[in-house]
Amino acid sequence: MTGILQLLLLVSMTVASEPSCPACSKYDYEEKVLERMIRMEFAFKKVLKENKAISKTVEHDLTRIKEENERLHATVDALKDHKEIAERKLVSLMEEVERNQSSTLEKIVSDSNTTLEQTIVAFNDIKDQIATPLVYFHARSPQTSSLSTDEVIVYKTVETNQGNGYIATTGKFTAPVPGLYMFFMHTCTRPNTYGYLQILKEGSVLIAIKQYNT
Ligand SMILES: *[C@@H]1O[C@H](CO)[C@@H](O)[C@H](O)[C@H]1NC(C)=O
Ligand SMILES: *[C@@H]1O[C@H](CO)[C@@H](O)[C@H](O)[C@H]1NC(C)=O
């Protein structure tokens, strides 16, 4: 449109500025104007043609730019999606790491607690043992039921012998560590028979009993 306007302006200016020519033919001026107008028409057509070509190219370029723009938009959208997915993944990973850390910490604490408790129990056991060494025995069933005077009773069956104080071959007890010891003795005699029994310590009588008839 601007092209047409400019052209018309050019024509009118040409018409206005043409001087009169008395030496030429009667229609000389009109002929010249006509000739110019025809030339201008050609030029105008040429410009129009060029314009058309240009506008076609521009249209084509615009379409291409539009397509390119759409492709770019799609790429940007895809990148946005990727970014969001990556962000979500990162957040959940961080949460998992946090959970793992706290559960690992809890486990360490509880393990330490268990170990500590076990150590305390073990320590108390050892402490008691150090303070009071375990020494005890239980023996039963005399090898003979008919004893001669001053014969030591030797028991056939030794049930327990913690500290190995009792000697099963001699029937004697030797204290492995100094301390206070307590002895129980349970005996039976046959009907119409006597039993004289003593507990001796290094030859001295600690206690003696006499029993008769069952
Ligand atoms: C979290 O702990 C689980 C089980 O112990 C393990 O399979 C996983 O890989 C850990 N995750 C991380 C992010 O450390
Ligand atoms: C450690 O064990 C004790 C006794 O079982 C308990 O009272 C305490 O809560 C435990 N501590 C931890 C940190 O688990």
CA separation for the pair 107, 93 (Å, rounded):
21
Q: How far is CA 123 from CA 9, 108, 128, in A?
A: 116, 22, 9
Q: Is 92 exposed, middle or buried (0-12, 13-18, 19+ CB in 10 A)?
A: exposed
Cα–Cα dist 25/32, whole Å:
11
Ligand number with the minimum distance to the CA of 112:
2
94 CA to centre of ligand 1 in angstroms: 11
Could you tell me if the CB of 53 is within 6 A of ligand 1?
no
Model's pTM, two decimal places?
Answer: 0.37
Q: What is the pLDDT of residues 64-115, one digit of tens each?
A: 999 999 999 999 999 999 999 999 999 999 999 999 999 999 999 999 999 9
Domain residue ranges in the chain:
56-131, 133-174, 183-214
State in Å: Cα 113 to ligand 2 middle.
Answer: 6
Quick check: CB of 53 below 6 Å from ligand 2?
Answer: no
pLDDT in tens, 159-210: 999 999 999 999 999 999 888 899 999 888 888 988 899 999 999 999 999 9
